[in-house]
């Protein structure tokens, strides 16, 4: 047989293989029709052969004494079938919508048709035997049917083919970012881990951020890459950052939709704003006044630094307190040495403002400013 083979199927009187170019070659008979073209699957029965073409249609050739080679019209069109299996005197296929369908007869005398039992539902695979057939259903259980008198062949043992456990956890259960300055850019991301705790593959079907503030929580990570499949015992991650757009609390709900159900997580953070430091020159000295809008009570601390000759020096410090949400004005007065330096040249300073909410962690933002030369 010429060419490398990708798949093979042996039947009662012949064998057929799919070659590397998706064509079919058979030996000991069962020559395929000349217009068969390329195929995705081939199956051999007793004296009948069938295939699913790469276009998704079913073709059969060989013996047809019991109707096993007469393909239902609905399965002869492109995209109609997923798989096919040929038995002794009957053939079964799985349609594109996962419906099992069989034709031919279960007995040599052609008196019993291989009708699929009502209520079988969707299947992922079907196999036709001599006088019986079996299928794997969409919940991974097995169902069999066949010729009366074949009770042993169609009886599925209890407790053997159990549906898989599909389960997952999403941790931690809450993401809270605390305070962050508006305009400081997105925070360092926090990690959510989705773990497949079941014994079957888990599929992430959608990830949703719900709420008016959803846009301030950018997402990334391996879980966020569209439709993702997570193997049993494995995990993927979601990275969530916070980039506030307004002063005050901002919140959203993250919903990870999976084949194990919906996993919701609450996310929140609070934004604060730091105005541009206003520089004032007076005879008594130079001051930097900054208006800070805070979402809750806490402390605002500010320091201004100057870098000269490779050394960074703090030239002034100040602080203020807020009893609740509102505005805090902090004023920093520059010392005599810096005022003297301004008589010679313009200075570049960095103003670092830190807000620490009551009971929370500090968050800082830096503004770069130039203080012009003054005679």
- Tens digits of residue pLDDT in 77-118: 999 999 999 999 999 999 999 999 999 999 888 889 999 999
Name the percent of the chain lying above pLDDT 90.
72
174: left (phi over 0), alpha (psi -120 to 50) or beta: beta
Nearest-10 Cα torsion for 277, 278, 279, 285: -90
Residue 134 has pLDDT above 60, yes or no: yes
Note the pLDDT tens digit of each residue in 68-81: 999 999 999 999 99
Residue, of 283 and 243, whose pLDDT is higher = 243
pLDDT band at 151 (very low <50, low <70, confident <90, very high): low
| CB proximity list for 220: less than 8 A, separation 6 or greater | 189, 238, 239, 241
Give SS3 for 216: helix
Structural domains in the chain, sorted by start = 5-154 (2.130.10.30), 168-271 (2.60.40.10), 275-371 (2.60.40.2550)
Output 53 or 131, whichever has higher pLDDT.
Answer: 53
Q: Binning pLDDT at 50, 70 and 90, where does residue 375 land?
A: low
SS3 content of the chain, % helix, strand, coil (to 5): 5, 50, 40
Average pLDDT over residues 43-66: 95
Cα–Cα distance between 237 and 188 in angstroms, integer? Answer: 15
Q: Give the whole-angstrom CA distance, residue 9 versus residue 52.
A: 13
Beta bridge partners of 157: none
Backbone angles phi, psi at 216, to 5 degrees: -90, 5
Over residues 271-289, the mean pLDDT reads: 87
Q: Please, is 328 exposed, middle or buried when counting C-beta atoms within 10 Å of its C-beta (0-12, 13-18, 19+)? A: buried
Positive or negative, the CA dihedral 230, 236, 242, 243 is negative
The Cα angle at residue 351 between residues 345 and 356, in degrees rounded to 5: 165
Q: Is the pTM higher than 0.75?
A: no
Q: Beta-carbon neighbour count of residue 324 at 10 Å? A: 10
Mean pLDDT over residues 54-73, rounded? 95
> Which of 121, 119, 118, 111 is CA-nearest to residue 148?
111
Residue 187's pLDDT is: 96
Choice between 336 and 199, residue whose per-residue pLDDT is larger = 199
pLDDT higher than threshold 70 for residue 354: yes
In the structure encoding, which two tokens stand for residue 322, read together? Answer: 């807020």
Beta bridge partners of 203: 229
């Amino acid at each position: 047989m010429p060419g490398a083979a990708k798949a093979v199927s042996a039947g009662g009187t012949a064998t057929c293989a799919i070659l590397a170019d998706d064509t079919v070659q058979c030996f000991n008979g069962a020559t395929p029709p000349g217009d068969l073209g390329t195929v995705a699957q081939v199956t051999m029965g007793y004296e009948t052969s069938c295939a699913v073409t790469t276009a998704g249609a079913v073709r059969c050739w060989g013996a047809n004494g019991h109707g096993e080679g007469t393909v239902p019209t609905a399965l002869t069109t492109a995209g109609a079938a997923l798989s096919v299996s040929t038995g002794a005197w009957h053939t079964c296929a799985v349609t594109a919508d996962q419906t099992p369908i069989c034709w031919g007869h279960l007995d040599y005398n052609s008196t019993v048709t291989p009708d699929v039992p009502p209520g079988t539902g969707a299947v992922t695979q079907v196999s036709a035997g001599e006088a019986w057939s079996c299928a794997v259903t969409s919940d991974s259980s097995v169902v069999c049917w066949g010729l009366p008198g074949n009770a042993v062949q169609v009886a599925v043992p209890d407790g053997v083919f159990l549906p898989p456990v599909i389960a997952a956890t999403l941790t931690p259960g809450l993401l809270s970012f605390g305070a962050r300055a508006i305009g400081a850019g997105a925070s360092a991301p926090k990690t959510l881990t989705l773990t497949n705790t079941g014994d079957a593959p888990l599929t992430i079907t959608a990830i949703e951020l719900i709420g008016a503030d959803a846009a301030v929580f950018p997402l990334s990570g391996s879980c966020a890459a569209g439709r993702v499949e997570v193997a049993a015992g494995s995990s993927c991650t979601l990275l969530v950052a916070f980039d506030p757009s307004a002063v005050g609390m901002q919140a959203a709900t993250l919903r990870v939709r999976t084949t194990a159900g919906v996993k919701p997580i609450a996310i929140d953070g609070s934004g604060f704003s730091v105005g541009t430091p206003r520089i004032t020159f007076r005879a008594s000295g130079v001051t930097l006044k900054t208006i800070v809008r805070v979402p809750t009570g806490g402390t605002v601390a500010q320091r201004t630094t100057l870098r000269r000759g490779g050394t960074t020096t703090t030239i002034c410090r100040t602080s203020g307190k807020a009893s609740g949400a509102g505005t805090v004005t902090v004023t920093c007065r520059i010392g005599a040495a810096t005022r003297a330096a301004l008589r010679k040249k313009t200075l570049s300073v960095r103003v670092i403002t830190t807000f620490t909410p009551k009971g929370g962690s500090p968050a800082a933002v830096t503004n770069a400013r130039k203080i012009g030369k003054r005679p």
